[in-house]
Structure 1
Amino acid sequence: MKKLTWLLLLLVVSLGAQTRHGVVFEAEHGNPIAFASVRCGDQLVFTDIDGSFLLQDSRGPIRVSVTGYKDKTVYASQSGSTQIRVYLRALDVGKSQNKANLLIARAISSRKSNDPQQALSSYKFDSYNKLLVTANPDSISGSIDSVFYFKYRDKKIFRKLDSSDYHFKKYISRQHLFLSEKVSRFEFDGEVLKENIKGARMGGFQQPVYELMALKLQSFSVYGEQFEMARVTYNGPLASDAFHDYEYRLQDSLRISGRKVYAIAFFPKKKRGISGLLYLDEKTSGVAQATIRFRGVIDITANYRFDYLFAQNVWFPQITEIIVAKGRYDRPISILGTTLDFEPESNTANQFAGRSLTKKRQKFASDFIYARSATWFSAPEVDVPVEIRHPWVRAEIEDQAVKRDEAYWKSVPKHDSDPRDEQSYRSLDSISGSFGLQWKLRLARRFLYGYIPLGSIDLRFTDIIAYNEYEGLRLGLGGITNEKFSKMVRIDGYGAYGFRDTRIKYSLGTALRLGKFSNSWIGVSYTDDIREIASTQFITDPKKIRIYDGRPFNITTFYSYKSWRGYVESRLIPKTESIWQLEYSHIDPLFDYTFTKDGQELQEYDLATAEVSLQWNPFSEYMQTPMGRIETDRGFPKFAFQYTQAVAGIFDSDLSFGKLDLRVEYEKDFLGGQKTTALLLGGYAYGDVPVTQLYNSTPNNPRSGNVLERIRPGSTNGFETMLFNEFFSSRYFSLQLRQTSQRFEISRSVKPSFGIVTRMAYGDLRHPEQHLGFDYKTLDKGYFESGIEINMIYSGLGLGCYYRYGANSLPQPSDNFSIKVNFKLDLGM
């Protein structure tokens, strides 16, 4: 009997101490109420965007209140169900909104005195960041399920046992899926906030993936005009025009660090957007704490906590945190590259009086995976002298940062430690070694630019095989030395043979490194090869490989060139890449062409040119790493400028002319996978410019055959309906716009995306009498084409159908159509 009494007492205590979950609804419509305050004893929590709350101890009365609704108290005797449901009746919300608006207006007007980046002249602080991808083992059932299929409508047939959730729970109970840490020193000089990384390690990698180390998942400040969360930008909740986008509601008042603060909820006026809670200091209107959330294709929560600095009368960052988890979406969604790939969740929801009739697919273990990045700040030094080196580089990682030993990491003050951490490093390192992940990462980096690392040489696989109408099949071999060969000297070159023109082409060059930080090189090279006529090439363009570029298959008109080149390349100018070069070339057009100059006819000619090319990415962010400078955040628009000046009389050069080229690129990605792109190109040439150096607007349509016979490989940014050698210009501009959708899953292997493309171009040709030997037109009446694309239909293959219209359309309607096959390889990078 005594044992039974103790057993019952233990059961009562355990039941009384358990956590309780509840949801708060509107009584009239049954909609959940976000950010309502829930008090139970000394506990105060707020409901999330779905009206849900979690209490650690629900004994005693639970009081739920939110301005604009009548308070309600739920007693313990009424909360014995598995889920507490609370229904509140609406009152007049005018007073709540008016007071909240007044408090927010004060916070907006006092941003300069509350935002540390505006209120403080300078500061320094240390930080510790922990980024992980994991799951809570307690949320996973871990059962072994039976898998059935229906052979007939009413007969269920057993197929197999599915133990994947069971094994996943065992795995995630021991370790995380991904884990990295870094220790940094931040410095702010009144204008620039820079991160200097002192220590960095990443499970499974001897050398961290620097792009992940520099990943900016949330805005540092909550006061900005724009707020960034998971690479998507929103109007800030304290922006100067915030009342245009958000509604505000006073929720409650409480004390943080001994100071009275008001909890104010904000909601987007439009259907989609961010919402959250701002805790505003009663006296200063500064933000003492904040929770900002987006719920949609993915569920993102950003949290901020601040310490009050009495001497400066400002709230200073203490902790920032962002959690990215699966949201409600009926298609797969990938974020952070391919770090998280969530399975789809389809439902047919019907809400009535707060009672969900939602039908969902079975939840799998992978549904509970989430990414979490948390940063703890310490040792702030305020209003001290700060001098920042290389301010245009947002983050700089020291060479020794990736070489820190275990003693260093044991000395680092850890936060939010988890018993799974150390096991994660051991296991991930073991997995990485078994699968050669470090080598695969290096291979992937080089592969994107067309190289395969082989010891001290990176083999350029684009030189191995190619095809065009002039050379036919082209076979070759080329490459460049890497840092294993030398960190100060590089040698690059290639050799190739065309089976149709039976000619050997080759190039050989070498360069000497001038500076590590600026990645400056000085070099010389000699090339004997062919090139498409009237094509514009920005010499600063990284040779990033297109796994498949079909346009060269269709090119028929080339010129041969033999050139000596001396150059200097550098990244010394902030956020730019530049190349300055001198070149002497012998040009021989490989088609019937004569250029006339002052009565003199030239079938071939020599050119001495000086050229400067500049790639400027003012909105991108960069990190300086032991491997060099990398672009960690691709900002748009991007600009490319190039100026070329040919001078006659130098080394017997024949012609004098100048060329000025411009390119502007813009891209915008959306969380659902949609993308908007724009490309503006322009060029201006003056002087005695031969056709080989003019502009052709990148055509990609053969001249012969009907529409089906002209089905050829498509290009990336070419005019698909423009005939080869149809138009030439000495000055022109073109604009291309493309909108692509997210991928639609038709089956496991068929997941196409759809796109709409439109292109236009204008131009003219000065001194057309100088060009003899073939017919051509000009773009003075404009050129227009639009099309529909179905990309990634199967294994990267897709189709596009395009139509030309306007003054330059062709007489036969069928000739205005073009159908192209495209190919895209998604590397997830």
Structure 2
Amino acid sequence: MKLFCFLSLFFTLTIQAQFQISGIVNDPNNKPLPFATIKTSDNLSAITDIDGKFTFTAPADFAYYTVSYVGFETKTITVIKNKKFYTISLSEKTDDLEEVVVSSENPALAILRKVILNKNTNNPQKKLNSFEYKTYNKLIVTANPDSIDGRIDSSAVYKDLDKKKINIDSSDYKFKEIISRQHLFQTEKVSQYQFGNNKLKETVLGTKMAGFKQPVYEIIAFNLQSISIYDNKYELLETKYESPISNNAFKDYNYKLLDTVNIKGRETYMIYFKNKLKRKTSGLEGVLYIDQENFAVAKAVMRIKGVLDISGIHEFEYAPNEKIWFQSNTTFKIVKGKNEEDIKILGGTIQFDADAEESFEPRKKVASDFTYLLSESNNFDIHYNTNPPIKNPALYIEIKEDANKKPETFWEGYRKENLDLRGQKTYLLLDSLSIKKRVEKRLGIGRKIINGFYPVGPVDLDLKKIISYNNYEGFRLGLGGITNDRFSKDFRIEAYTAYGTKDGAFKYSTGAGVLLDKSTNTWLNAYYMDDVREIASTVFAVDKRVFKIYDPRPINISTFYQYTGWRANVQSKIIPKTEAVLEVSRNLIEPKFDYLFNLNGRLYSSYIMTTAMLSVVWAPFSEFMQTPTGRNESDKRFPRFTFQYTQSLPNVLENDFNFGKIDFKAEYEKQYLNRQKTSLLLQGGYAFGDVPITHLYNTAPNNLTKETIVQRITFSGRNSFETMFFNEFFSNEYVMFQIKHGFDRIKIMRKVRPSLVLVTRMAWGNMENPQQHVGPAYKTLDKGYFESGIELNKIYKGIGLGGFYRYGPNQLARFDDNIAVKISYVLDLGL
């Protein structure tokens, strides 16, 4: 969701030139020299990038600059009036190439060993008991007008051989005109950071976002780059990479000592590092400036070059009293990299155009080629070891209620320099454009559609209720919705009704909720329902609603039970890093299949259940954000755990049975730099007491009882057993484990790029008191159940194919019966 909002603003809004000198530094063989040092006669400095390129934005009156690189002769370049690009070739030294070699070992490795050894001494979050500081951040999406060709091109189009029509292509001209007077997007933020008890918290004091009265909180929480340079994992654009100074860095990186540089009056080593892997997504590359005395990081340049060219720069100030380098400035930049095909996000709403292949004529450049994102942060008002009181330390980010209502005098007091004319016009023009094009409203609609709703006035229509299909109800046609903030921010009403074309019955639900506490998202809700549900299915009350255009697995389900009654619950995020639901319900249960429950000789064809239930999801490694509208999970991390306990209430409201249920789920995901992904799921349940089969466990089967493989082809589920037949197994206690590993997409043709996923699932279970269940014939899972398969997803326009095989103790006698072929469909929203 954060990525959707962030990239949407980055590109959907894309609808004072400064004097610059740029160039490229090469070796005698015309190969670029990355991270060469550039110094001007006015003591300005810069370094070349990975491709040996550099850019200076500076006054025009400096006379010369020098270019130096270890092992090469330093060269002095005289600035020529009106010349803006310089190609510089350095000559190798022949007399003192070995000067930096202090031993037989690579000197950079010896320095890095001392950096890693002294990390805890130099890391502010390890050395200091506490600290606090404020940060001013400005983020812009813009382009340099001077880099855009503003000509109006014409192209000839012939029609019927005798008529000629001229099309005028003015896109570059219009884009240059826009970018000369404003940025494409701009936002400012002032935050206070507090560190204590090994926890760092950001409190947003002020935020200002062009085009939006209400800030897009997802952008505020978006993690562009790591705050600390000393973490074992370094983060760029919410992707984690092995740090070049991590404890295991030597197995991932090569290092080279480039130069010695004076920073803030202290001598530093300039060390170039590059990931050893040769793949396109090879990881970080950059430069570390290491203090020669204490081996602390005095400056760092981190870069990833792929489909996007991303760089992060960290600058530090030396605090002599604390004898520590403390971060003073950070810079983050994104420009377009190299991509062999169009990158589409949200079904093509956002797009990077592909680079043309060498054998074809290069395509004309478009806006995304010139556009870049730049985020700059300046730290100030720094205090060490002050032990500041930190309110709600479990929160990662807290946004003050009045953060978006600060007057201009507030911003003038924090800006390092006043906004230029382009910056001032950006707020005025984008605010106007946002109103004209209803950007804020469209973004709000997009948020709700992703969650399965469409707003119509004060009501959000529930898209999941419109149409579905299963083997019991047939086509289920319905209408439902919930009131939104336009109706009330403190009270909500929700309802739905549905009709099954096969069972000929109406279902419905109606309910209401009242907000008890906004900061913890605490609601008190009550509902009355008359509906059906799959038998023996596991439903965690705290599971997030997942919206799909279709829900494939229920298509094949034919055994349901009807439940009629009420439930009341309290849902809250009051406990840090958790969300909980406490619920009491009473329902009349009527199985819609041939079944009787035998309790002490009495046969029940229907029964009343009065229960209390507590459901909790715990995400100990996730980060949470407190906004004026409530508490949200800003950074979802794994593992995460879900617990649920259900207990019947004997002799309460005519309850028939005494039983309890304990359910548990653990989820883990790991994404790799090469775009592979591993997912693990461990789930189990234990039902004790007198529990009818409707409320036991079936471990999510998804295979039809048909004669041939072709007859059994259907849609695959998400975490279901694809070779297990419906109603084949039931258990009152079970455990299941699933492992999925997805590989990067394989390019077969330009538009055929399937993703290969390997899947293995296994389950064990047991059924106590099988004599209580009269009617259905079933087996138990006491010997275990095993299946493995291969999925080729997204073969063409989201459609894929999978094959699964059943083996082990519950393998069937006929070979064909152990095979299941499934169709998959993945709607890629780029989230």
1:309 paired residue number? 319
Kindly provide the CA deviation profile for residues 702-751 of structure 1, in whole angstroms up to 9, marking residues without a partner as x.
21353333333332222223211111122222233334455678889776
Kindly provide the CA deviation profile for residues 163-196 of structure 1, in whole angstroms up to 9, marking residues without a partner as x.
3333222222222222211121222224221111
Amino acid at match of 2:708: N
Q: Give how far 1:372 is off.
A: 1.8
Amino acid at match of 1:195: E
Structure 2 gap segments, 5+ residues each: 1-18
289, 292, 297: which one pairs with 1:279? 289
1:240 paired residue number? 247
Q: Give how far 1:608 is off.
A: 2.5
CA distance in 2, matches of 1:144, 1:100: 52
**Pair 1:71 & 2:73 matched:** yes
Amino acid at match of 1:294: I
Amino acid at match of 1:34: P
Q: Give how far 1:24 is off.
A: 2.9
8 Å contact 1:680–1:733 — kept in the other structure? yes
1:816 paired residue number? 818
Amino acid at match of 2:425: Q
CA distance in 1, matches of 2:824, 2:531: 27
330, 336, 342: which one pairs with 1:326? 336
Q: Give how far 1:547 is off.
A: 2.2
1:456 paired residue number? 458
8 Å contact 1:561–1:585 — kept in the other structure? yes
Kindly provide the CA deviation profile for residues 299-345 of structure 1, in whole angstroms up to 9, marking residues without a partner as x.
21110111222222222221111112222332344699999742223
Change (3 A) 1:262 1:529: same
CA distance in 2, matches of 1:158, 1:735: 65
Q: Give how far 1:255 is off.
A: 1.9
CA distance in 2, matches of 1:148, 1:674: 47
CA distance in 2, matches of 1:294, 1:691: 55
Q: Give how far 1:683 is off.
A: 1.7
Amino acid at match of 1:204: G
Task: Name the stretch that deviates more: 489-498 or 38-47.
Answer: 38-47
CA distance in 1, matches of 2:67, 2:432: 51
Task: Name the stretch that deviates more: 192-201 or 573-582.
Answer: 192-201
Matched residue SS, 2:546: coil
Matched residue SS, 1:243: helix
CA distance in 2, matches of 1:412, 1:337: 40
198, 207, 218: which one pairs with 2:214? 207
**Pair 1:86 & 2:87 matched:** no
Matched residue SS, 1:324: strand
After TM superposition, list the pairs within 5 Å mapping 1:407-426 onto structure 2.
407-415=409-417, 417-426=419-428
After TM superposition, list the pairs within 5 Å mapping 1:137-286 onto structure 2.
137-145=145-153, 162-271=169-278, 272-286=282-296
Amino acid at match of 2:486: K
2:52 paired residue number? 51
8 Å contact 1:24–1:33 — kept in the other structure? yes
Change (3 A) 1:190 1:251: farther
Q: Give how far 1:108 is off.
A: 2.4
Amino acid at match of 2:52: G
1:606 paired residue number? 608
1:760 paired residue number? 762
8 Å contact 2:301–2:314 — kept in the other structure? yes
Matched residue SS, 1:652: coil
2:710 paired residue number? 708
8 Å contact 1:470–1:557 — kept in the other structure? yes
CA distance in 1, matches of 2:726, 2:510: 31
CA distance in 2, matches of 1:676, 1:726: 29
1:786 paired residue number? 788
473, 481, 494: which one pairs with 1:471? 473
Matched residue SS, 1:650: coil
Change (3 A) 1:306 1:39: closer
1:12 paired residue number? none
CA distance in 1, matches of 2:349, 2:191: 23
8 Å contact 1:798–1:822 — kept in the other structure? yes
Change (3 A) 1:812 1:430: farther
**Pair 1:134 & 2:142 matched:** yes
Amino acid at match of 2:448: R
Change (3 A) 1:38 1:403: closer
Change (3 A) 1:806 1:140: farther
8 Å contact 1:182–1:199 — kept in the other structure? yes
8 Å contact 1:64–1:71 — kept in the other structure? yes
108, 116, 130: which one pairs with 1:122? 130
2:6 paired residue number? none
Kindly provide the CA deviation profile for residues 613-633 of structure 1, in whole angstroms up to 9, marking residues without a partner as x.
111112211111122112221
CA distance in 2, matches of 1:569, 1:541: 12
Task: Name the stretch that deviates more: 274-283 or 692-701.
Answer: 274-283
**Pair 1:488 & 2:490 matched:** yes
375, 379, 392: which one pairs with 1:373? 375
% of aligned pairs identical?
Answer: 43
Amino acid at match of 2:804: Y
Kindly provide the CA deviation profile for residues 406-447 of structure 1, in whole angstroms up to 9, marking residues without a partner as x.
454445425484432222222222222222222222222222
Change (3 A) 1:43 1:402: closer
Kindly provide the CA deviation profile for residues 63-86 of structure 1, in whole angstroms up to 9, marking residues without a partner as x.
5331xx353547769999952223
8 Å contact 2:518–2:629 — kept in the other structure? no
Change (3 A) 1:348 1:795: closer
RMSD of Structure 2 on Structure 1 (CA): 3.4
Matched residue SS, 2:402: helix
8 Å contact 1:496–1:504 — kept in the other structure? yes
User: TM-score by structure 2 length?
Assistant: 0.88
CA distance in 2, matches of 1:637, 1:168: 46
After TM superposition, list the pairs within 5 Å mapping 1:329-348 onto structure 2.
329-333=339-343, 341-345=351-355
CA distance in 1, matches of 2:424, 2:178: 14
Change (3 A) 1:295 1:71: same
Change (3 A) 1:390 1:245: same
